Chains A and B, each alone.
Chain A
């Protein structure tokens, strides 16, 4: 299940949903708000999402992961709103029979979420400036 959340992510509750008798491995990834980017001091981040399409595309990514890797369950939650340094911005959790598939699927999901899901971050810098990140290296794909 992929979810956009405007409230802090309850990691323990998310992880409980991954439990299964057939799972021998659990891999989670946490993306935190860092105090710098590209050499500039960052004070906070504002995340914005096109929530309906972010939900659809995020769910598609999880379905792809279920097809491509031998995993039991997979979940992802992404925050929106204003986040302070150290806050959890994105969480990915995977359970699988074995660790290789769990690591691979977790990596796949965070990479695809960053590449495809309509979410944007606005960095607020220590010098008072701010700016939306629209990475030059983000592929701007056509439909489908």
Chain B
């Protein structure tokens, strides 16, 4: 599967890019995050994040499809 990943805030800094395309065998967002966390050394555990797929909040255990855009969202601090 090929996924298009979006990073924000501290995850963006740690990854060194705002987006990347990855080839992965992971079918769920949780497994995909674990894979990317190991690669980039993200400090935030998945329990503190929300995940969005194709521009809408999604479930960690939902099945991803080839070509999905996946965004990992750190705790927000707007306002």
CB distance from A9 to the nearest CB of B (A): 14
Contact A134 B55 (CB under 8 A): no
A23 interfacial contact with B, CB 8 Å: no
Residues of A within 8 A of B12 (CB): 48
Which of the residues B6, B9, B57, B71 comes within 8 Å of A134, measured between beta carbons?
B9
Contact B79 A143 (CB under 8 A): no
Q: Which of A102-136 contact B (CB under 8 A)?
A: 110, 113-122, 131-136
Contact B48 A90 (CB under 8 A): no
A53 interfacial contact with B, CB 8 Å: yes
A78 interfacial contact with B, CB 8 Å: yes
B56 interfacial contact with A, CB 8 Å: yes
A140 interfacial contact with B, CB 8 Å: yes
Contact size class for B?
A: 20 to 34
Which of the residues A31, A132, A141, A143 comes within 8 Å of B9, measured between beta carbons?
A132
In terms of DSSP, what is the predominant structure of the interface of chain A? mixed
Do A140 and B75 contact each other (CB < 8 Å), given the known contacts A48-B9, A53-B56? yes
Contact A132 B74 (CB under 8 A): yes
Compute how far the CA of A129 lies from the CA of B74 in the bound complex, rounded to whole angstroms.
20
Q: Which of B33-75 contact A (CB under 8 A)?
A: 44, 47-50, 52, 55-60, 71, 73-75
Residues of A within 8 A of B10 (CB): 131-132, 134
Residues of B within 8 A of A90 (CB): 78-79
CB distance from A100 to the nearest CB of B (A): 23
Contact B13 A53 (CB under 8 A): no
Which of the residues A56, A119, A136, A140 comes within 8 Å of B50, measured between beta carbons?
A140
The interface of chain B, by Cβ under 8 A from chain A, is 6, 8-10, 12-13, 44, 47-50, 52, 55-60, 71, 73-79
The interface of chain A, by Cβ under 8 A from chain B, is 31, 47-50, 52-54, 56-57, 78, 89-90, 110, 113-122, 131-136, 138, 140-144
